[in-house]
Structure 1
Amino acid sequence: MPANPPSGPDADRSGLSRPDPPSRAESAGERLLGSLIDRAHVLPPRLVAPLVAQELAAVGGRDIAIWLQDFDQKTLLPLEGEGLQDNEPVAIDGSPPGRAFATDSTVELVQPDGSVRLHLPMLDGSDRVGVLSFTLSEVDDDDRRLARRLAGLVADMLITKGKYTDAFFNGRRGREMSLTAQIQWQLLPPLSMVTPRVTLAGILEPAYDVGGDSFDYALNEHALQLCIIDAMGHGLDAATMATVAVAAYRHARRAGIGLVDLYAEMDAAIATQFPGRFATAQMGELDTVSGELTWVNAGHPAPLLLRGRRVVRELTGPTTRPVGFGGGTPRVQSVQLEPGDRVLFFTDGVVEERLPGGLQFGEDRLHDLVARAGADQLNVVETVRQLSHALMAGRGGMTSDDATLLLVEWSGPSGDEELRADAAASVRDVDAADR
């Protein structure tokens, strides 16, 4: 990128303050990222897009676009703002921005005039936010490194500023969303998490009208704790019950209690607030060092164990009554995973949907679609997205019940140590460069 320092606009006209004067010790990349960081703290949400466009333009970027993923994860929607291109929505499958989104990698396209169009995934940690696109006259490795870091910073700005504006939530909506769906989307954790030892991804369908399904998880020290919930009924009543179930799960999990007592707390909360009603659930814990997975199945279909990207067995075993029924002491099950194993948790709406001929979709069809998705050797996050869309297509594009998928992959115990070694090597490289 050209080394021209960014110059601030007229603050009275745009609302953007001028950046600090550039230091001669700073590179162009440091000035670009530093200017965004320095002004991001008090930046109102409406000025995020103009600030990003302004700073990119100052270093030679043009045709700047910010794409946000639609809630159904089929489409990228253009964010509107001063300095950004006017674009139509694009499909994730089959478009250059979509390819960057789906592969979590930069897509470069050489233009007829020799310039380079960059499409960069915007990741908040590992959670997909969208795509940043812009064109440069020429690109080298330093530009690529800076562009990746810039995309990550823009993702962080959109997430943090999105906590006190509706603009970015609305920017992700391709159509109207039901009240119950809004409740569930506000309740959910990030849809994906990637660490050296464990990866997780989840998705809800129908994205714009989901009611009683939800999931939650947390990585505490070496334990991945998770829960998937299907509240009885439909509509607002089901969404309210799911909210209470998730809150009870989080309350118990954060108290540090085990699966048996955790089940009891959820059971008591539902029984007290919704007499005569229930929610099916699975609560699990994966030891990310040993690979041992333990779980309680309170009325859900058995999880599927995937090895070599194929379903090798259903994790069947004793089940416990759904929460709210007073099921007594739950039965805790366990399985020892091997590195690379995946476990798919899902709600009954995935397999019990009726096809046009009246037959249930069924677990055999689910196993077949899982095998097809595995054959593509996709990462966990993209596997869940593709599998969810294949399931919806297999049901004729319609569903009469919520359908939720939660996929977990255990990579093995050594990942954290490798990450520490990489970090130490990076520090040594920086020290050597300084000398």
Structure 2
Amino acid sequence: MADPPTGVSRALREAPPDRVVEAADRAIRSVLGASGTAVFVADYRSSGLWPVLDSRQPSAGAEAVPGVLQRCFSSQQPVRDLAEDGRCRLYLPLSVWGERLGVLMVELPEAPAETVVRRAADIAGEVALALRAADRETDRYRRARRQERLSMAAELQWELLPGRSVSHGSFQLAGQMEPAYTVGGDHFDWSLDDNRLTVTVLNGDGVGLTAALLTAVTVNAMRNARRSDGGLVEQAELASDTVFYQHRGHRHVSTVLLELDCATGRVGAVDAGSPHLMRLRGGTVSRVALEQQLPLGMFAETRYDLQEFDLDPGDRLFVVSDGVWAADPSGRETYGERAMARSMRATRLQPPTEAIGTVMRELQAFHADADLRDDAVVVCLDWRGSARREGD
């Protein structure tokens, strides 16, 4: 008999991209004897989980408990919810390569044995992979994620992202953009290649769609250099020249480029005018001092220097845009002066996927829950220490 996850995989592969949820429901009912399933996806702020519903099909998800959903999503562990009649709703994280997509709920006739939970977790992994792939071919899951209409600038920014989190044997990484539905020029990008992680965070000049278009050009110029085996300096210089020859110095992009050697913890860096780099080591938050060079696009043929620093196992790096660091909603001291360090220290026991939310929530509280005046980006990187890659 075929291994159950393989059977589910086949059903998911053969389903149209906009019907992955229905295909998963049929396969899981067959393989696990479930009476119902539901898929919930995280919204753009990762502040809520919302069902992918088909109005033609009743969903057991209508009875899902929000607190249990959030506990599963936050802990990234299966959670059982046993009803008085003996039925059990099993909540399973939907994540792939460390990116948290949502939660799969499976309704079972009785409390499952550990072997069933493990099998269901494997199936959830297959569903997550299928959803991530299908997301390129349909708008269905994007519609479920958004709780209000995105601005044109935000639409462009979110489509440009590599993801919102990623994990590896030696690191965990996560990022968040706010205000999620109207973000303009601030952005982040990353790529993992041959045990080297490249991370960039950008403050695009201007507001709205104009800033988003400038950032899109900059990100793709850096990707072009990176995908042609160019190092950080070449990435910065190509992006700078591209922006300059398009805008003749009237527009620029403040950017920090980082490359982590996942085996040694050595970090190469190019600081092109901002954002800010903070290190949490133990209980102490300190700024990583880098030589600040010209923002990208200010002058023709600007040349950049590479700097380096080391991470210790257990170190946490935060990269924040000016919209975080310089926030001063009431004319008092900026968020980066003292409040930001307090919020970063409060994340010590949280994974990066939760830590970015903590810093953003504290930023919102600093604004007394008023709308952010500027775009804000937080990226959080934990280096765990050297880890051998599978196959090495």
TM-score (norm 2): 0.93
* Count of aligned pairs: 385
CA distance in 2, matches of 1:89, 1:110: 12
In structure 1, the residue matched to 2:88 is: 116
CA distance in 1, matches of 2:85, 2:63: 23
Q: Measured at CA, do residues 89 and 368 of structure 1 come closer, stay the same or move farther in structure 2, by a change above 3 Å?
A: farther
How is 1:36-435 mapped onto 2 (pairs within 5 angstroms)?
A: 36-58=8-30, 59-81=32-54, 82-85=57-60, 87=62, 95-136=67-108, 137-275=110-248, 276-311=250-285, 313-326=286-299, 328-357=302-331, 359-374=333-348, 377-397=349-369, 398-413=371-386, 415-416=387-388
Q: Structure 2: which amino acid aligns with 1:409?
A: D
CA distance in 2, matches of 1:307, 1:218: 24
Q: Measured at CA, do residues 205 and 358 of structure 1 come closer, stay the same or move farther in structure 2, by a change above 3 Å?
A: same
SS state of the match for residue 340, structure 1?
coil
Give the conservation status (yes or no) of the 8 Å contact 2:195–2:263.
Answer: yes
Q: Structure 1: which amino acid aligns with 2:345?
A: A
SS state of the match for residue 297, structure 1?
strand
Q: Tell me which structure has the larger Cα radius of gyration.
A: 1
Q: Structure 1: which amino acid aligns with 2:62?
A: N
Between stretches 178-187 and 361-370, larger displacement belongs to 361-370
Deviation at 1:207, TM superposition (A): 0.7
What is the alpha-carbon root mean square deviation over aligned residues? 2.0
Give the conservation status (yes or no) of the 8 Å contact 2:314–2:382.
Answer: yes
Q: Measured at CA, do residues 87 and 394 of structure 1 come closer, stay the same or move farther in structure 2, by a change above 3 Å?
A: farther
Deviation at 1:222, TM superposition (A): 2.3
Deviation at 1:54, TM superposition (A): 2.0
* Deviations, residues 122-173 of structure 1 (Å, cap 9, x unaligned): 0122101100112221311110111101111111121111211111111101
Deviation at 1:301, TM superposition (A): 4.1
Give the conservation status (yes or no) of the 8 Å contact 1:77–1:90.
Answer: no
Q: Structure 1: which amino acid aligns with 2:316?
A: R
Give the conservation status (yes or no) of the 8 Å contact 1:50–1:84.
Answer: no
Q: Structure 1: which amino acid aligns with 2:60?
A: Q
SS state of the match for residue 303, structure 1?
strand
Q: Measured at CA, do residues 189 and 96 of structure 1 come closer, stay the same or move farther in structure 2, by a change above 3 Å?
A: same
CA distance in 2, matches of 1:302, 1:158: 34
CA distance in 2, matches of 1:309, 1:221: 32
CA distance in 2, matches of 1:332, 1:392: 35
Deviation at 1:386, TM superposition (A): 2.4
Identity of aligned residues (%): 28
TM-score (norm 1): 0.84
Q: Structure 2: which amino acid aligns with 1:310?
A: T
Deviation at 1:234, TM superposition (A): 0.2
Deviation at 1:220, TM superposition (A): 1.3
With a CA cutoff of 8 Å and minimum separation of 6, indicate the structure with the bigger relative contact order: 2
Deviation at 1:420, TM superposition (A): 6.2
CA distance in 2, matches of 1:90, 1:70: 17
SS state of the match for residue 208, structure 1?
coil
CA distance in 1, matches of 2:154, 2:320: 18
Deviation at 1:114, TM superposition (A): 2.5
Q: Structure 1: which amino acid aligns with 2:171?
A: V
Deviation at 1:328, TM superposition (A): 3.1
Deviation at 1:42, TM superposition (A): 3.5
